[in-house]
């Protein structure tokens, strides 16, 4: 059984925890109506100090589908933060009303800070460029759904590997499973940082770094596209130069395996042409739905672990 109070980082979860959450999520996918009263009487607080479409709404939908209720805010401007209330006081207050809280904040470490004063479990729904563990759970469930295993995959990760928090977490998690290989596809300026490589990879890890997508797409079982994140750049001219480094289109998809899947945490800008959406290997909108199911499983597991 999962034995954590909060989910602040993907590293909080062991391989066994990941299997437990994914197995439960797979059961929910098969028969969601069996879970529709599991959280009757429970309340989820959603504290979003930064914009979100998928994460906030999927948490809301997840709690609704478990029979619970949701309260919260979608921007700091509508909370007493504008009067100078600290994050710790805000979270401590909401934890008097809610049984579990999902929060997003632009500052790295904000979820950890919140967990120090909250009287209920905290789920990190994104803290700056640091962590987004429920996106990683979404990605892992999607891989499990389409590939029926979390092992023996060649995973191509494309785009902003420097600032992309979802990429860092996904590599860390998929590296826990046997015989996964990583192809890191990025411009030189957006390569996976050395500290992430040192944290994750050891002498047995299999990875390579390349610039050219077409060269390696035939090898990939999973292609994880990412957005070049304008908001993380200090220089507008560098962003403009790099923003269209990779555009996945139907021509490039012709080079890929018939059973390759394309994932993207979304939102996308230009990195996947909309013509690709019709390709059955493009599963990023189904991935969005799996995000709701895996958050249902996570809410259940954390409430169970905390007897809340």
Residues that bind ligand CP (CB under 6 A): 52-55, 126, 135, 265-267
Query: Which one is catalytic: 83, 148, 254, 278?
Result: 83
Other CB atoms within 10 A of residue 290 CB: 26
**Cβ closer to ligand CP: 157 or 216?**
157
Query: Which one is catalytic: 105, 130, 132, 165?
Result: 132
**Cβ closer to ligand CP: 121 or 265?**
265
Nearest to 270 by CA among 299, 232, 243: 243
154 is catalytic: no
CB of 41 to ligand CP, least distance (A): 27
DSSP string, 233-283: -S-HHHHHHHTTS--B-HHHHTTS-TT-EEE--S--SSSB-GGGGGSTTB-
**Cβ closer to ligand CP: 126 or 133?**
126
> Which structure tokens are listed for 59?
């948490």
CB of 46 to ligand CP, least distance (A): 11
Query: Which one is catalytic: 5, 54, 191, 289?
Result: 54
232 is catalytic: no
CB of 226 to ligand CP, least distance (A): 10
**Cβ closer to ligand CP: 216 or 243?**
243
Query: Which one is catalytic: 42, 56, 65, 104?
Result: 104
Place of tokens 């826990």: 176
> Which structure tokens are listed for 275?
């013509």
Q: At what angle do helices 15-30 and 133-147 cross, to 10 degrees?
A: 60
132 is catalytic: yes
Nearest to 101 by CA among 113, 172, 129, 273: 113
**Cβ closer to ligand CP: 217 or 266?**
266
CB of 126 to ligand CP, least distance (A): 6
CB of 264 to ligand CP, least distance (A): 9
SS3 of residue 62 by DSSP: helix
CA count, 13 A, side-chain hemisphere, 43? 11
Rounded Cα distance between 102 and 123, Å, is: 5
List the catalytic residues.
Answer: 54-55, 83, 104, 132
């Amino acid at each position: 059984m999962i034995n954590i109070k909060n989910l602040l980082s993907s590293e909080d979860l062991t391989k066994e925890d990941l299997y437990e959450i994914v197995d439960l999520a797979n059961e929910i996918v098969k028969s969601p109506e069996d879970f529709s009263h599991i959280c009757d009487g429970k309340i989820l607080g959603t504290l979003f100090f930064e914009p979100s479409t998928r994460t906030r709404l999927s948490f809301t939908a997840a709690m609704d589908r478990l029979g619970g209720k949701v309260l919260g805010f979608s921007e700091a401007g509508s909370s007493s933060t504008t009067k100078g209330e600290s994050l710790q006081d805000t979270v401590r207050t909401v934890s008097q009303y809610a049984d579990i809280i999902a929060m997003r904040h632009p500052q790295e470490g904000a979820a950890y800070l919140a967990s120090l004063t909250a009287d209920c479990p905290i789920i990190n729904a994104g803290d700056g460029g640091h962590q987004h563990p429920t996106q990683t759970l979404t990605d892992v469930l999607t891989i499990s759904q389409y590939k029926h295993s979390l092992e023996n995959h060649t995973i191509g990760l494309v785009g902003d590997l420097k600032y992309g928090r979802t990429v860092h977490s996904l590599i860390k998690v998929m590296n826990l499973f046997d015989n996964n290989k990583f192809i890191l596809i990025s411009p030189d300026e957006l390569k996976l940082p050395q500290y992430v490589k040192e944290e994750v990879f050891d002498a047995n890890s299999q990875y390579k770094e390349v610039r050219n997508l077409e060269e390696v797409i035939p090898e990939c079982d999973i292609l994880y596209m990412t957005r070049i994140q304008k908001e993380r750049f200090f220089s507008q001219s560098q962003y403009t130069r790099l923003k269209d480094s990779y555009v996945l289109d139907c021509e490039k998809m012709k080079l890929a395996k018939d059973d390759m899947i394309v994932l993207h945490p979304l939102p996308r800008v230009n990195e996947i042409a909309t013509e690709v959406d019709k390709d059955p290997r493009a599963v990023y909108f189904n991935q969005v739905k799996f995000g709701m199911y895996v958050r249902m499983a996570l809410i259940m597991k954390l409430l169970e672990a905390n007897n809340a």
